[in-house]
Chain A
Amino acid sequence: MLVFVTRRLLVALSVALTVSIVSFLLLHFSGDLATSIAGPDATAEQVEKIRVEFGLDQPIVEQYFHWLVSAVQLNFGRSYYFQDSVMSLISERLPITLTLGGLALGLAILVAIPLGVIAAIKQNTWIDRLALSFAVVGQAMPSFWFGLTLIIVFAVNLHWLPAGGNSSWQHFVLPAICLGYYAMPAMMRLTRTGMLEVLNSDYIRTARSKGLNESTVVLKHALRNAVIPVVALAAVELGFMLGGSVIVESVFSLRGLGQLAWDSISRNDYPVVQAVVLIIAVFYIALTFFADVLNALLDPRLRVR
């Protein structure tokens, strides 16, 4: 187990390092940052001045190492726009995005797992079809459009919930529904197929032969085994949701990390963009790492090894 964790940890760290290089290079080769920062009306001297000021005249390798060494110390430099340290901007916004992601994931799990279980038990009945349709529609719905629709219905017409902002918990309800519905279909389908597979397994037949109640058979013997892969998926989905929060946060004017990234992209504020990309990637890597470990803990066959 220890060997397994150590090895996974090393892989995770090296992937994080690679991601940092890739995201750094992607931004640097997509265009001339100095020109972008200076804006379209800047003169050649102004561009040069900015180039020197932000160290963009240095060789790219040097720039990267300089950035990486600071980034490891959680120093991502200063924002071009806010004239504030990137880290303080991020630490202000991150909790909002994490709250949103956590709520959305919780909601998705609360809907997906029971729905998947019921769909599997009632396979090929109208309940199953309804659950599958719910998932298929969720997969097809553009999240920005679903967000706007939620606003029209629940904020504007029904006045139940606020349309945007983040001053109270009510502000998180609609964004969490929007983001959660995006993550739900995959988890529901995985729960359903997992349950179908497990319910046909020999050990479920054994459990039934012991005369246990149907609820014990389903909830104790089947669900535990069917839900193991869903846990891993949930962690990965949370990672995706943090990355996808850009869209939902911009729709609901939720001042989280995603909106910070989006604003910074439109303002050519690259130190912030780079930091957010890296942080979200590191979160994703950490989440998949924890998912692997959690998987190993839940499955005794992996745990003992």
Chain B
Amino acid sequence: MDKRIACLCTIKPSDTNTSHSEQVFSIFDSARIHNKENGIVGAFLVADDTLMQILEGESSALANVLYRVNRDPRIADVSVIVNINIEKRAFSRWSLKLLSEQCAPHVEYLQKVHQLIHEDASFTSNLDTIRYHKIFFHTDNTRSTAPLENTEKSGFEGTLLSMTSWPRPTQLRLTAELMKVCQLLIGHTVEYQRLVTLAIFNSRGELDSCLEKLQEVNAVSVIKAKEPNNLHSIETHQKRKQTSTGGSRFSQALKQFISGQGIKGGHRQ
């Protein structure tokens, strides 16, 4: 029978000139290779110096991982907080997530993982509790996104849209149209009506179609709009050094060139 374990540990500062990210990556890389060879799946979650590994696999393989983790000189204070038998694995692969306050693209993923393990978690020290909270409540998990359950084709009317991260190529093939929408929504909350008035698509139907594709892969958050008096300004970055006419002429010329090439595939000699 398979087991699921979750263990917390602290990443030691490197005693060489290795940066924190290199240190994390080297720990991750050894785990990645070992876990792949032994059919172990799960998640590798990092928040500052705290590391949580959630592992699913055969009992003997997981025991071997724990042995390795305990002997790893790069980490300290290893503590197993979940150790249960499972009938079915919840993870299909092994993944890496970096958690930080500045970047919260993993909120939904974290909520799922938290739901999965929190009932089985037991803490033997205050340190465990602190580290557990650091992992799951480090990012802004409290944002209420109140997703709409049934957004029909024109159901984006009166909604606010936002994205925290780009969809993966394994989830969705990015087209130029999708990219335009994503670029506007990443890190911002934008009113659907505003997207319509920007006229980046020929029709509202095309915009809706793009949004639906993003919604299907859970890449976009759709929430009900607040009252207009809650309008806020986007903090704009420094102006791009580009004249709009120059940019537009270049863009038109590029589009004409590409359509003239007639994208059909094939190799160029």
Co-assembled chains A and B: no
